[in-house]
Amino acid sequence: MADVAFDDAANLARAQPLRPVASEAPWFRRTLVALVLAIVGVLLLAPLAVVFTEALAKGLGAAVSALGERDARAAIRLTLLVAAIAVPLNAVFGVAAAWAIAKFDFRGKAILITLIDLPFSVSPVVAGLCLVLVFGANAPLGAWLVANGWPVIFAVPGIVLATMFITFPFVARELIPVMQEHGRAEEEAALTLGASGWRTFLTVTLPNIRWALLYGVLLCNARAMGEFGAVAVVSGKIRGQTNTMPLMIEMLYNEYLSVAAFSMAALLALLALVTLTLKTALEWRYADQLAANRRH
Amino acid sequence: MTAMRAARFRQPSPLPGFGLALGTTLAMLSLIVIIPIGALLLKGAGIGIGDIAANLAKPRVWAALLLSFRIALLAALFNLAFGLALAWVLVRYDFPGRRLLDAAVDLPFALPTAVAGIALTTLYAPNGAFGQLLAPLGIKVAYTPLGIWVALVFVGLPFVVRTVQPVVAEIDREIEEASATLGAYRARTFLRVILPMLTPALLTGFALALARGVGEYGSVIFIAGNLPSVSEIAPLLIVIRLEEFDYDGAVAIAVAMLAISFAMLLVINLVQVWSRRRFGDA
């Protein structure tokens, strides 16, 4: 491009002179793309591929029958149950938090947002330990609950609480910026026209945030079903009772039952792939209705 | 409505539901997050600074904390550089498979950590696909601190990419063109014009990846080998202490890790304040 004649105006216009100066040399671009693709292949795609090749190492039949084992089915059921409780509760929390934070101005809002974000930066194991300190048999509350027949730690409620802690910010984080962007003019108009508060929420606010809500729920669910560290601390890992799918994977893997471990892992990897596909589809189709800055 | 109007700490608004929404938010936040973390801090206060310090000073504990922090730092540094390259390629270049690559970046967010852990271990074990290639070179990955680094690079990768990507997309190309017109080479434009604009996002992504790496458990414990003082990470030591019913020991490590988390959060918030002052509302 350097030897374009400056007096040749027509040539200059055709040559799109602005593009090269604000970009890198072609050889550099090609090298960088190749490098990035290679590293992503080794770092991200190879682990994904190995999950499926190991699961199918002894054929599809062996993988399916491993998933049909009694303890495996119990683990799958428990994971589904925990997600079915934790995700809707976190969705309700997310909508409530976003409504309060995005539609109103009040003191201490910044602190509230920081507290909601806190679980993102706390180690899952520390989260599990915190729950043990409140609800464990050594704590006053925990001892009282156990005495009354409602054990939390080493039981399903503890797993639900641990899962909720880890996935707590997902829906709120997604909804707050979207609702802030919408402002409150539409809701105010609906109220002026005589709609009740709930009707305003259901017919004005909810349609505006539905895709963002679905997006948040999707990410929340993927993390909820896959959570390991926090759940490992509170579950007690009782086979057939408090073993979730990720905990079952660890148990099978440590017993050298490779096909069984990777079959369970493949099931969760499939969930991850479905999540990514739906997430990407939502981003393409409804980009304008999702939070612009995707942070997890 | 009337109950809300009585609340003086907020600006008046015609919208209903503030009390219900904030009440639900605070109730759930307290039950799930604040009370449990408060219990940890309370327990830590009960043990006392002196005993916590004594606990942390034990060689095995100190080694685990140092290992977790050091490897997380090294992994976050790699992700800082590679995340920037990845974000740049995704925004600026057009090539076949770009959108697929964009979707693949989120794989570590979507793939459960235990799945990533056993998959990485299988790949990098001495008889695994990558382990076999590296063994003749004398490089052992699985069951060494290098394995921990690989796992932390995996889980931390999306953080830098996803914080930097939207900022790269918003860079005004005319500024780069102005820099080039004024005679700067491309590399100089990148270092002196583009990089300063990306610095807040890079720092935020780096801090997020670091925070995640320090606390990461699921993907690490399979590949680490978990040799005390060599490849035993701090979160694992908390689990071990709990299994020994040594609650004070577990709490001491957890308090130290929580302090690191808070420091990280503070850094992220300070970076954002600084960036807003320097670059306007970002």
Q: What does the pLDDT look like over A41-52, one tens digit per residue?
A: 999 999 999 999
- Which residue does chain B place closest to A106, by CA atoms? B10
What is the distance in angstroms between the Cα of B203 and the nearest Cα belonging to chain A? 14
Poorest-pLDDT segment among A204-218, A225-239, B114-128, B170-184: B170-184
Q: Give me the CATH topology for the region B51-279.
A: MetI-like fold (1.10.3720)
Cβ contact A103–B119 (<8 Å): no
**A132 closest CB neighbour out of B13, B92, B242:** B242
Is the pLDDT at A269 greater than 80? The verdict is yes
Q: What is the mean pLDDT of residues A237-264?
A: 93
Tokens encoding B180: 């080039």
What pLDDT is recorded for position B8? 65
Give backbone dihedrals phi and psi of B204, rounded to 5 degrees, phi first. -60, -50
Among A236, A269, A237, A241, CA closest to A252:
A237
- In the A/B pair of chains, how many CB contacts fall below 8 A? 302
For A273-291, give the DSSP string. HHHHHHHHHHHHHSGGGS-
What is the distance in angstroms between the Cα of A119 and the nearest Cα belonging to chain B? 7
The DSSP output letter for B280 is S
Q: How far is it, in rounded angstroms, from Cα B249 to Cα B65?
A: 13
Share of chain A above pLDDT 70, in %: 91
What pLDDT is recorded for position B281? 53
In B34-63, the residues whose Cβ lies within 8 Å of chain A are 34-37, 39-40, 43
Among B252, B266, B166, B162, CA closest to B211:
B266
**B17 closest CB neighbour out of A36, A93, A99:** A99
Q: Which residues pair with B10 in a beta bridge?
A: A106
Is the pLDDT at A296 greater than 50? The verdict is no
> pLDDT tens digits, residue range B217-235?
999 999 998 889 889 999 9
- First and final C-alpha spacing in chain B: 35
> pLDDT tens digits, residue range B121-145?
999 999 999 999 998 999 999 999 9
Q: For chain B, what are the domain ranges?
A: 18-47, 51-279
Give the Å distances, CA to CA, from B103 to A29, A53, B67, B133, B204: 21, 22, 32, 29, 21
Among A226, A231, A228, A232, CA closest to A276:
A226
Poorest-pLDDT segment among B39-43, B96-100, B114-118, B183-187: B183-187
Half-sphere exposure for A112 (CA within 13 Å, toward CB): 26
**B106 closest CB neighbour out of A21, A92, A279:** A279
Give backbone dihedrals phi and psi of A169, rounded to 5 degrees, phi first. -80, -10
Tell me the chain B residues in contact with residue A268 when contact means C-beta distances shorter than 8 Å: 111-112, 114-115
What pLDDT is recorded for position A102? 92
- Contact A91/A217 with Cβ under 8 angstroms? yes
What pLDDT is recorded for position A5? 45
- Contact A234/A154 with Cβ under 8 angstroms? yes
What pLDDT is recorded for position A13? 47
> pLDDT tens digits, residue range B38-55?
999 999 999 999 999 999
Give backbone dihedrals phi and psi of B123, rounded to 5 degrees, phi first. -65, -40
Q: How far is it, in rounded angstroms, from Cα B67 to Cα B74?
A: 11
Cβ contact A46–B130 (<8 Å): yes
Ordered alpha helix ranges (H), A123-184:
124-135, 140-147, 156-167, 169-182
